[in-house]
Structures are given as C-alpha cells and as structure tokens.
Structure 1
C-alpha cells in the first residue's frame, strides 16, 4: 500500500474509542442505520450495537459510503442480551427519552465508558432499553417539532462526546489490540491479497512498519498457486 494509505489507516486506528458506543434499539430504516455508522466512523467510534429481534440488519456499502468496513456492528436479539455486554465493559448506559428525570445531553460526562441507546423511528427507546438506562437524556427543542431524526440526534450526541474526549486528551493513543490492527491494515491496505487469502484459506501475513506484506516464501508460493475454489472454465 502507499505510504499515505498506511499513515491514514494508522491514524484512524490511533483515534478509535473502544469505550464509547451507541446501541440502536430496533432502528429499521436502512438510510438511518447507514448514517449513524458513517457518523460513528467520523468521530472515532470503534463499534456500535444493534438490537434487532426480527431480521438481519443489512447496510448497503454505497449507502454507508463504506463506513461499515471500519465500524463493527454487533447484533443482538434482545436488549437484555446487549445489556450483558455493556455491564461487562462497565459502561454508563444512557437512553434518549422525554421523561421527568431526563437531563440535557450536554450535561453528561462522556469521558466515562458510555453507551447511548437510540430508539427506533416510530416508538423511540423500548421499555427494556429505558429500564437498563442509568440516565435519560434529551436534546432541547425550542420549536414546534418534538423530536429529531434518529441519525441527526445520534450525530449531535456523538459529536458532543467527541468534543469532551478531545478536550480530555483521549484521542491519539491506540486502544485496539495489535491483532485487530494488523487485520485492518492488511484487509484495507492490500484488499486483493486479502480476498485471495479468504478464497484459498491462507492465513493473513503481518504488515511491516512501511505498510508492506511481511511473509515467507511458503506464503507467497501458496498465493501464486491456482485457486482450488475457482469455477472450472
């Protein structure tokens, strides 16, 4: 890969926030899901969560502008299943909801490990999502409209979290493990070789400090061999 590509991927990896995330509570419109993922990538969120009990969530590569390649989406069949993961990570759980105990979303300390539950387009956050939340948050509305599109609301909250974390110096220090970083560097820096590895069932090689493939002669020989899974002419 080019030095510029190598530097850009490394910069992305250095800024990923592993303890800041969103949970989409049965959000079902593809364009909204894709927009949330795209913004998550922009602010450095490593992965998001989605509770989707009825069907698989699918995001078009074109719709998400390729952001799903960089941001993992972990899917759950129920909110209780997702809650177990949040508890394991010691996260404060926030839920967007108009309630008596809701506070302005800007009054939250997002430098803590945080997950924000965003409700679906029609009903908002489910009763199960509200029940596991440590705090309800709202985006103040001064006009006649009482709610924002879920992707817009998510973006406002994510950028407030980014602002606070930048001020706290939380960006620029790599939090991801080396195995994951090597995988991303290979798949995104050498996509043709990565595709060949998956077809031929060849382990991924290491990527060196210049962004180039570091592999022995045996690996290269296997790469040059005909693809046993290729369709016969």
Structure 2
C-alpha cells in the first residue's frame, strides 16, 4: 500500500461512527441492500447489520465498492440483533407508520443508535416493532405513503450525520486499535483480506508506512493457500 493510500484510509478511518448503524430485516433485493450500504459508507457507518438467510446480499456492481469499506454482520433473528444493540447501550429505532411513530428528525442521533429497516413489501415484522425502543416515520404529503427502503435509510442517516457533525462527533476517532488495523488491511490489501477471510487466516498489523508486519509463517500460509485455490 502506498503512503498516499495509507494516509487516505487513515483519514477516512478517523470519521467512522462505530455507534451508528442500520439493521436490514429481511431486506432481500440486492440493489436495495447495496444502495443502503453506499449511504452507510457516505455518512461513516462502520458496520451494517442484517437479519437474513442469504449469506451474500452485496452486489459489487451496485455497491460501487462500498462493500470494501463497510463491514457487515449477520444475525439469525431480529431478537438476536436487538439484543446485540442493547448490550452496547444503543437506542433501537424502527421505521414504521402508525400513531405511535415520531418524526425521524425529533430523535437524538448523537446517542448510540441502531435503525431497523424492514422488508421491501411488508416492512418491519411485529417482532421488530415490539422490540424497538421507538418507531420513527418520514413525513410525506403525497398520495403514496411509503419510500423505497434505501431512500428511507439515506434520509435518516443524513439527519444523523447532520446532528453528529454539529456535535463535533466527526472530529474524534471512534475506532479501536483492532478495528482500525482491520480497516487498513481490508482497504489496503483487499485481495489478501478476501483470502484470509476465505481460509480463516489471521490478519497481520499494518505499520505507519502502510506495510504489512507479519512473521514468515504468515506469508508461507498465505502463499500456500493461494496456490491451493
């Protein structure tokens, strides 16, 4: 990795918001998932969560490379996902139109926040609605009272970005050392990262010059795995 690329990734890493995320609940259309991923990358979301039976929803042709910069974490159920968020002291929001829902702009997004977005046709499940801390709605005055899930995600995320920028939250690095190292490795050496993920090989650290710091045994393991493909 060149020094210029290392500096660019390091600067980008400083803006990541580890306590802001979205959870896609059974969102199954790859182009919608990819569009949400692009919006997440644009506002600095570090990890996207998904409740889905499909292992790989990301399409490189529509994600436009965002899948290289945003990590994804799958959950077997919405209960598991919400439990994960609550363990991390995050407020859990769900987009849903009913009398209990509040305008999405009334939420304090400077708090640790997870936003549940439901399936394209039916929206969030009853389980998600029951488990969420608040329901939010995007006000509309047209005849159609729903937005594409990726459009809804972008609107809510950019309100979160606006509030967080005003609060100075993009001026302080939120990534742990381990998260930063993994992002540097994934972004700086995408082919090696993919190989390590495929073969279950550990990720080596990256030094301040953007170089891999690894023992000869690691390189041998990578070379052996590469030849075995």
Using structure 1 for the length normalisation, give the TM-score: 0.87
State the partner residue of 2:101: 102
Query: Which residue of structure 1 lines up, in the alignment, with residue 185 of structure 2?
Result: 186
Displacement of 1:136? 1.1
Greater than 6 Å deviation, 4+ residue runs = 195-202
Contact conserved, 1:199 with 1:227, CA < 8 A, in 2? no
Q: Label 1:34 to 1:198 Cα distance change in 2 as closer, same or farther (>3 A).
A: closer
1:57-68 equivalence runs, <5 A: 57-68=56-67
Alignment match of 1:227 (pick from 217, 224, 227) = 224
Return the offset for 1:230: 2.0
How large is the Cα RMSD of the aligned pairs? 2.6
- Structure 1 residue 10, shift from structure 2 partner: 0.8
Unmatched runs of 5 consecutive residues or more in structure 2: none
**Structure 2-normalised TM-score?**
0.89
Asked if 1 retains the 8 angstrom alpha-carbon contact of 2:69 and 2:187, the reply is no
In the TM superposition, what are the counterparts of 1:130-145 in structure 2 within 5 Å? 130-145=129-144
- 8 A contact 1:200–1:227 mirrored in 2: no
Q: 1:114 to 1:195 in 2, by over 3 A?
A: closer
What's the counterpart of residue 18 of structure 2?
Answer: 18
2:51 is matched with which residue?
51
Kept in 1, the 8 Å contact 2:25–2:117? The answer is: yes
- Greater share of helix residues, 1 or 2? 2
Do the aligned partners of residues 58 and 192 (structure 1) sit closer, same or farther apart at CA in structure 2, a change above 3 Å counting?
Answer: closer
Give the Cα separation in 1 of the matches to 2:95 and 2:197. Answer: 41
Residues 138, 214 of structure 1: alpha-carbon distance in 2 compared, 3 angstrom cutoff: same
Per the alignment, in what secondary structure is the counterpart of residue 187 of structure 1?
helix
**Counterpart Cα distance in 2 of 1:29 and 1:8:** 32
Distance 1:194 1:219, change over 3 A: farther
The unaligned stretches of length 5 or more in structure 1 are none
The 10-residue stretch of structure 1 (205-214 or 96-105) with the greater mean CA deviation from structure 2: 205-214
Matched, 1:31 2:41: no
Shift in Å at residue 126 of structure 1? 0.7
Aligned to 1:111: 110
- 1:84-106 Cα offsets, whole Å, 9 max, x none, are 10110111111111111111111
User: Is 1:162 aligned with 2:161?
Assistant: yes
User: Which residue in 1 is equivalent to 2:3?
Assistant: 3
Distance 2:63 2:153 in 1: 15
SS of alignment partner, residue 106 of structure 1: helix
Q: Secondary structure at the match of 1:22?
A: strand
- Aligned partners of 1:174 and 1:73: how far apart in 2? 20
Cross-structure match for 1:73: 72
Q: Contact 2:68–2:190 (CA<8 Å) still a contact in 1?
A: no
Please give the per-residue CA displacement for 1:35-77, whole angstroms capped at 9, x wherever unaligned: 001110110001111112x433421122211211211221112
